[in-house]
Amino acid sequence: MEDLTQEEWVEKLENDDNAVVLDVRTNAEVAEGIIPNAIHLDFYLGDEFVDELDELDKDKNYYVYCRSGNRSHKACEIMEELGFTNAYNLEGGILQWVGDIVDLE
C-alpha cells in the first residue's frame, strides 16, 4: 500500500496497463461525479465491502480514492490484508482532484 500525491497517482496510472481505478465513496458522493472508468464499492458497507474487495483480481494494480483520502487509505490497508500486492491511495481524495470527472446521471 502506498499513499501517492495526485501527480504521482496520475503518472503511475497513465503508465499502467494493469490498472483498476476504485472509488470507495458512498452512492450519494458518487452521484456528484466519478473519475472516468472507476468502479465503485462503498466502504461503509462493512463486511459486504470486504467481501466485494476479496472477489477482485488480486493481480491487478488498484488506484483507490474517496472524498478526502482517509477511507481510501483504510481500504488499501484492508486490501493488503486480503493479499492485494499493489494498492495506491490518492492523498487528498477527490476533493483535491483536478482531473476529469464524469457525471453518472
Query: pTM for the whole thing?
Result: 0.94
Residue 8 has pLDDT above 80, yes or no: yes
Contact assessment for residue 21 and residue 38, using Cβ atoms and an 8 Å cutoff:
yes
Q: Binning pLDDT at 50, 70 and 90, where does residue 105 land?
A: low
94-104 b/e with 16+ CB inside 10 Å = b? beebeeeeeee
pLDDT digits (tens, 9 = 90+) for 24-76: 999 999 999 999 999 999 999 999 999 999 999 999 999 999 999 999 999 99
Catalytic site positions: 66
37: left (phi over 0), alpha (psi -120 to 50) or beta: left
Contact assessment for residue 8 and residue 94, using Cβ atoms and an 8 Å cutoff:
no
Domain 2-96 CATH class label: alpha beta
